Structure 1
Amino acid sequence: MIDPAFWRGMALGASLIMAIGAQNAFVLRQGILRRHVGIVVTVCAICDMTLIAAGVAGMGGLIAAYPRFITIVTWGGAAFLFLYGLRAWRAAFRGAGALQADGSRAATQEMSWQRAIGLVLMLSLLNPHVYLDTVILLGGIGAREPSPGNVWFAGGAMIASILWFTALGYGARLLAPLFSRARAWQILDGVVGLMMWGLCAGLVAQQM
């Protein structure tokens, strides 16, 4: 019989992970392009599952005791988001091309799977909110569940993460017909650039 803590973990995990952010935008983009989707989804899920497990195991208290860690991650994340946003804006102004019939994008340099992993790791781990939300908040709530409820809670949150990234990555291909036009990519790149710079400004404002 499934412990009620499982459903509590799944509900909280889903509510936190579904928020629009840099990581989800990247997964959506790769899903539309149909490039390295499995790798990107897997890395995102593994990062999330590791942080959930660490939080439920008590790491949240350790991070909360060392606020300098969050400060370092915040500035590092802000710098990365600024550069990533700049890259998106450049692509938007250049009009980098449209999807071909086979799902490949014209006039775009192929991204290697190693680069895809590197980008998704930075988007996942250079985000202070992932430590505040996933490790401290979600992990702290899960850690208060009496055993074995804490394990069930963590399991529910992990399942929510796997389902979300899988649905986002593989479901994004349904949008491929829309992105057969270069103009659609310009709009998406512009929105992504605006989002990255907005997130960057938010992180900087927190440190001012």
Structure 2
Amino acid sequence: MQPIFHGIILAFGLILPLGVQNVFVFTQGVSQPSLLRALPAAITAAICDTILIVLAILGLSVIVLQFEWIRLILLVGGIIFLLYMGKVIWSSGAASLEGKEALPIRKQIVFALSVSLLNPHALLDTIGVIGTSALKYSGQQQVLFMLTCIVVSWLWFFGLTIAGALLKKMQIGAAVFVLFNKLSAVFIWGTAVYLLISLF
């Protein structure tokens, strides 16, 4: 039971803070014309987290944390994608509420991939913290710890998407959703600036 409890606490601790990945998945729940159309973002984010968790526990964390040039590539790539994604969300407007400007499936997947795999802090948190924490377990206990972290991730992203879709059904005025898009874009740009500063 200890690996399961540890996995739940650790996974929620890493995933709960308001990050770019969470904002994007939630925004898709709000802006897509149906819950089904918003699922590609949630599924992609969950798959990416699953891959990172598995790699972290298999020892990739040791490699990434030892080479500075890998960290620099992650930072630069993350900044570029975040700036672009912020621009798209900023200009999405109220029309996305009717599905007129909702992101198509391909763009959802690309953006979800970018905020999951090119977000240095999320990447290093997953690889560094989960990978390091898994070292205390071996065999079946390590597998239980890994599976628990993965299940929490999937439940969280689907929950965010459903929450966004439910909020949309509450018939809140379009202006509120436009404001939400603007604030999301500002948050994403702020994250990009923070990453840029961290380069120096």
Number of aligned positions between the proteins: 197
Q: Deviations over 1:32-80 (max 9, x none)?
A: 2235222222211111011101111111001111121111111111111
- Which consecutive residues of structure 1, in runs of 5 or more, have no partner in the other structure? none
Percent identity over paired residues: 27
User: What's the counterpart of residue 75 of structure 2?
Assistant: 74
Q: How does 1:1-208 map to 2 (within 5 A)?
A: 3-32=1-30, 33=32, 34=34, 36-91=37-92, 95-97=93-95, 99=97, 104-105=98-99, 108-178=100-170, 180-208=172-200
Q: What is the TM-score of this pair, normalised by structure 1?
A: 0.87
- Aligned-partner Cα distance in 1 for 2:44–2:89: 22
Partner Cα distance (1:90, 1:114) in 2: 18
Output the CA distance in 2 between the equivalents of 1:53 and 1:98: 35
Q: Give the drift of 1:114.
A: 1.6
The CA RMSD over aligned residues, in Å, is 1.8
User: Using the alignment, how far apart are the partners of 1:38 and 1:89 within structure 2?
Assistant: 21
Tell me if the contact between 1:82 and 1:200 (Cα under 8 Å) persists in the aligned partners: yes
The letter for the 2-side match of 1:60 is S
> CA distance change for structure 1 residues 40 and 131 in 2, over 3 Å: closer, same or farther?
same
2:95 alignment partner, SS class: coil
